[in-house]
Structure 1
Amino acid sequence: MDVLAEVLAPFKWLVSALMVWFHDALSGLGLPAANGWTWTLAIIGLVLVIRAALIPVFLRQVDAQRRMRRLQPDLKKLQDKYKGKTDQLSRQAMAQEQMALYKEHGTNPFSACLPMLIQVPFFLALFQVLSGITSAARQDQGIGAMSHQQVVQFDASSIHGAPLSASVLHQVGGDQAAVTVLTVVMILVMTAAQFLTQRRIMARSLPDESADNPLLRQQRMFLYVLPLIFGVGGILFPIGVLVYWTTTNLWTLAQQFFVK
């Protein structure tokens, strides 16, 4: 756990520094410093910066999806070649030839997950920052680039009665019903966006005639498993983390529809 903390330390500082910068900028424009919506907009600003920085990665992802679509006929031929062969040597040979095809076309079946994987350390860092807000406020401490005063402000801030640092399973004050309702609404939005995004990725990666292609099973796994993971895990996330993940999922969905 100490190793994870050391790895995430620079990400925690960067995440908190961006939040503080956006918060101070919004406060300078006249928004109340201790208001929950000011901090919510600061989190959304954090998402916009991270996702804008990942645009080159996303464009490479789209190119990989195109390449994946082009290699489907070769994968189908490979599947037919080894159809009915279940011995160990045949399975190994098929796996090696599949890897050679992926290398030849400059893609792999997991290329669609790259932007999400790059976001994981930022997501975990934000989770640690927001989960530690209440404890830091009580212990007269700051977190990352956030001063103790800003930690106290964030701990006291809420939207619609739901504290940004609260989760369904970790109540830190405010209205528990509001926390539950807001959590459910954002989980539904972010999982729906995740589902539609994966549908779009499948449409780009797999040609219409590839219904019996084995790659389809992998894509279907992402289609149903990823929204399920974030849906179930959402009850553990503070409201502020749900704001982050809902915003980033909506950004991803918009990119998939508008980038040709």
Structure 2
Amino acid sequence: MAKINKWIKTIGWLPLFLAAIAIVGIIGADLSYSGHVPGSGIWGGFVAFFIRSILGVSSWFSSSYGLGIVIFTIFIRFMILPLMVYQMDSMKKMQRLQPELKVLQEKYAGRDTETRTLLAQEQQALYKEHGVSPFASMLPLLVQMPVLIALYQGIHNSSVLRSGSFLWLNLGNQDPYFVLPVLAALFTFGSSWLSTQANPQQNTMTKVLPFIFPFIIFFTSLAVPSAVSLYWAVGNLFQMVQTFFLQNPFKLKKEREEARAKEKAMARKMRKATRSKKH
């Protein structure tokens, strides 16, 4: 019970409330769709469930399948919001632990198996002491990947979605004007850049990644149906806004500068006090 209370305190009630609304919305949309979507087996049933949800949401908006995908995407983002908040909190804790982790890495600098094992044990003990999960960043991805695969397969399996249109798009075909791939890439860059800027410990890899991911998303979006590109564009826009509010790099940078200023001021006071004692 104590762990659950701690988890709730870390995440906050608002993300949990929004996630609950999203789950109710997804299930309600599925139940509100009166048509039949075939699906056999566990995975087939999972794909059919999400397709019925999209079609159910679309029916709320005069069978606008594109708008149904947009609302469904927002539901999914709200559903995983608690995991994203938990991920951000773990990342901040990991950043604060970097000096201690560097000390351990210097202490166990050897390459032999015994030294590497001792280092891993010490790191695990440090994570446990501070309540940090180094695998928290994997949770949102583990939730999103089955949804994305199900959406991709569902578009191919659902003749209704495949033949649907939204704005200039035919949802079953690629975006002919490359608007969605460009938007998905831009929003991916914005989210990655904000997350990188919030991290005070940067290396060559962290500086390069915000430029690599957008290219991967862009070229992948060129090869998939525009319904999937629409899901990516909306989802990445949501994530960019979410990252700004949960991991505002400008606010964090200001806090770090204020903390350094306080440390310098304290050091000056200690030096003055030391000189006064000598005289």
TM-score w.r.t. the length of structure 1 is: 0.69
Equivalent in the alignment of 1:66: 92
Whether 1:185 aligns to 2:179 is yes
Q: In structure 2, give the amino acid aligned to 1:166.
A: N
1:51 aligned partner: 77
Match of 2:150 in 1: 125
Q: In structure 1, how many angstroms separate the alpha carbons of the residues matched to 2:173 and 2:183?
A: 19
- The count of aligned residue pairs is 208
> Which runs of 5 or more residues in structure 2 are unaligned?
1-39, 248-279
Instruction: Name the structure 2 match of 1:171.
Output: none
| 8 Å CA contact 1:23, 1:42 repeated in 2 | yes
Bigger relative contact order, structure 1 or 2 (CA pairs below 8 A, ≥6 apart): 1
**Contact 1:11–1:121 (CA under 8 A) maintained in structure 2:** no
Q: Taking every aligned residue pair, what percent have the same amino acid on both sides?
A: 28
User: Are the counterparts in 2 of residues 164 and 239 from structure 1 also a CA contact under 8 Å?
Assistant: yes
Aligned pair partner of 2:237 in 227, 237, 250: 250
CA drift of 1:155 comes to 3.6
Which consecutive residues of structure 1, in runs of 5 or more, have no partner in the other structure?
Answer: 28-32, 138-150, 168-178
Runs of 4+ in 1 over 4 A off after TM superposition: 219-222
1:157 aligns with 2:182: no
Letter in 2 for 1:24: S
1:127/1:241 contact within 8 Å kept: yes
State the distance in 1 between where 2:196 and 2:168 align: 39
Paired AA for residue 196 in structure 2: M
What is the CA–CA distance in structure 2 between the aligned matches of 1:104 and 1:6, rounded to whole Å?
A: 43
Which residue number in structure 1 is paired with residue 127 of structure 2? 102
> 2:189 aligned with 1:195, yes or no?
yes
Asked whether 1:23 is paired with 2:30, we answer no
Change (3 A) 1:61 1:127: same
CA contact (8 A) 1:112 1:201 kept: no
CA 1:249 to 1:6, structure 2 compared with 1: closer, same or farther past 3 Å?
farther
Distance 1:7 1:77, change over 3 A: farther
Shift of the alpha carbon at 1:16?
Answer: 1.4
Give the distance between the partners of 1:68 and 1:256, measured in 2 at CA: 17
Q: CA RMSD, aligned part only? A: 2.6
Per the TM alignment, residue 6 of structure 1 is displaced from its structure 2 partner at its CA by: 3.7
**Pairwise CA distance, 1:247:** 0.6
1:81 maps to a residue whose letter is K
Larger helix share, 1 or 2: 2
Q: Is the 8 A contact 1:68 1:105 kept in 2?
A: no
Matched, 1:238 2:273: no
Distance 1:108 1:248 in 2: 25
Which secondary structure state, in structure 1, belongs to the residue aligned with residue 61 of structure 2? helix
Residues 65 and 166, structure 2, Cα contact 8 Å, conserved in 1: no
1:11-40 deviation per Cα after TM superposition (whole angstroms, max 9, x unaligned): 31231122122211111xxxxx4xxxx211
Q: Is the 8 A contact 2:108 2:118 kept in 1?
A: no
Q: Per-residue CA shift, 1:104-132, capped at 9, x if unaligned?
A: 33334442342232111111111001122
The whole-number CA distance in structure 2 between the counterparts of 1:232 and 1:102 is 38
